[in-house]
Amino acid sequence: ETGVTQTPRHLVMGMTNKKSLKCEQHLGHNAMYWYKQSAKKPLELMFVYNFKEQTENNSVPSRFSPECPNSSHLFLHLHTLQPEDSALYLCASSQDRGFDTGELFFGEGSRLTVL
């Protein structure tokens, strides 16, 4: 148990569906992240939020829409996805976005399959 909870753990959706991934952290951290993990590829940073403000959008397609209503919750809204978007989506948090210690606390991930 890392203190970061992601739901759902598994999601199958069609290309025309709209769904959302949810992340909640119970660590009192100020920064939250979305990463994409595809087979045999490095973890790709998608979005960074610091004190609820988006500080990084790493050229992510607009079919991925993040939302951070407060420092403890992070959502990733999905619509009109493509099969190549199938991957493990990891949420992480850190004390702040400087994370000099390099420690990110990851959730267990949401495994997304786009048909």
Partner 1 sequence: QKEVEQNSGPLSVPEGAIASLNCTYSDRGSQSFFWYRQYSGKSPELIMSIYSNGDKEDGRFTAQLNKASQYVSLLIRDSQPSDSATYLCAVALFSGGYNKLIFGAGTRLAVHP
Residue ranges in contact with partner 1 by CB under 8 A: 2, 4, 40-43, 45, 48, 55-56, 90, 97-104, 106-109
| Residue 31, strand partner residues | 50, 94
CB of 15 to partner 1, least distance (A): 26
Enter the tokens of residue 22: 């949810």
C-beta atoms surrounding 21 within 10 Å: 22
Q: Which is nearer to partner 1, 12 or 15 (CB)?
A: 12
What backbone phi and psi angles, to 5 degrees, belong to 33?
-135, 150
Q: Which is nearer to partner 1, 16 or 84 (CB)?
A: 84
